[in-house]
Chains A and B, each alone.
Chain A
Amino acid sequence: KNQVEQSPQSLIILEGKNCTLQCNYTVSPFSNLRWYKQDTGRGPVSLTIMTFSENTKSNGRYTATLDADTKQSSLHITASQLSDSASYICVVIPISYNTDKLIFGTGTRLQVFP
C-alpha cells in the first residue's frame, strides 16, 4: 500500500467548473507536502508547498489545503481552463528531510473539456 494515496485516479470536467483532488497520506511526521502539475510529455512542476503547520496555500486558481489531524490534503482548482488538463501529483517529505526521500502519490489525471 502506498504511503501517499490520491483520488480520484482520473477526472473529467467541463471548462469553467471547479474541482477538488484528494491526497491521503500515512507519512508521519513530515516536513512538508507539495502538489506538482505534470503536463503530458513534460516533467512535474511545483504548484504549492505547505509545511506541516500550514492549513492552506494558494497559487492563482490553485488552492491547496492540509489537515494534519486526518492526514489529508486537497487541491482545489477554480474556474478550470483547458490548460489545466494534466496529472496532479501529491508529494510528502518526511521529517528526516532528505531530498532523496520524497514520497510520491500516483497522481490524478485531470481532463478539462470545452
Chain B
Amino acid sequence: ETGVTQTPRHLVMGMTNKKSLKCEQHLGHNAMYWYKQSAKKPLELMFVYSLEERVENNSVPSRFSPECPNSSHLFLHLHTLQPEDSALYLCASSQGERETPDTQYFGPGTRLTVL
C-alpha cells in the first residue's frame, strides 16, 4: 500500500445525483492532487492543493468541486455529471518540495460510471 486511501473504490451514479469522493493520506505530505484517467489518454491533472490551499485548477468544469479541509484529507464533490465524466479518479500526495524530485504517491482510485 502507498499510504493513500480512496473511497469508494467504485461508484455508479445518475446524471442528476450528487456524490463525493474521499481521499486520505497517512504520509505527512503537504500537497494533494486529483487526477482523471480515461481509457487510452494520459492522466489529466484536475486540482492541486498545497498546505490546504488550491494552487492549480486546470480548467475543470464546475460540476467538479474539490475540498481540502486539512493536509490529510481531500474530497471531490460531484454533481450533474455527464457520461463522458466516467473514468478512474486518482488521488495523489507528495511532500510538496520544489527543490528535489518530489515523488507523488497515488491512491488506488475510484472507478466512476455516470449513467
Contacts of A32 in B (CB 8 A): 101
Contacts of B101 in A (CB 8 A): 31-32, 49, 51, 93
Q: Is the CB of B42 within 8 A of A99?
A: no
Nearest chain A CB to B56's CB is how many angstroms away? 4
Which bucket holds chain B's interface residue count? 20 to 34
Q: Choose, from A12-20, A39-47, A61-69, A77-85, the stretch at the interface.
A: A39-47
Contacts of A111 in B (CB 8 A): none
Q: Is the CB of A99 within 8 A of B40?
A: no
| Size of A's binding interface in residues, CB under 8 A | 26
Q: Is the CB of A2 within 8 A of B108?
A: no
Known A-B contacts A46-B103, A99-B31; A89 and B43 likewise in contact (beta carbons under 8 Å) = yes
Nearest chain B CB to A48's CB is how many angstroms away? 11
Closest B residue to A99 by CB, please name it: B102
Closest B residue to A39 by CB, please name it: B108
B residues 44-90 with Cβ under 8 Å of A? 45, 48, 55-56, 90
What separation, in Å, do the CA atoms of A89 and B42 have in the docked complex? 9
Among A42, A49, A97, A106, the residue within 8 A (CB) of B41 is A106
Q: Is the CB of B108 within 8 A of A43?
A: yes
Contacts of A49 in B (CB 8 A): 101, 103
Q: Is the CB of B90 within 8 A of A43?
A: yes
What separation, in Å, do the CA atoms of A11 and B40 have in the docked complex? 15
Tell me, yes or no, whether A4 is within 8 Å of chain B by CB.
yes
Known A-B contacts A4-B42, A100-B55; A43 and B96 likewise in contact (beta carbons under 8 Å) = no
A residues 61-114 with Cβ under 8 Å of B? 89, 93, 97-100, 102-107
What separation, in Å, do the CA atoms of A2 and B52 have in the docked complex? 31
Other than A44-B43, A100-B55, A103-B42, give 7 A-B pairs with Cβ distance below 8 A. Answer: A49-B101, A98-B98, A99-B48, A99-B104, A102-B43, A104-B42, A106-B40
Point out residues on A near B: beta carbons under 8 Å: 2, 4, 9, 31-32, 34, 41-46, 49, 51, 89, 93, 97-100, 102-107
Point out residues on B near A: beta carbons under 8 Å: 2, 4, 9, 31, 33, 40-43, 45, 48, 55-56, 90-92, 94, 96, 98, 101-109, 111
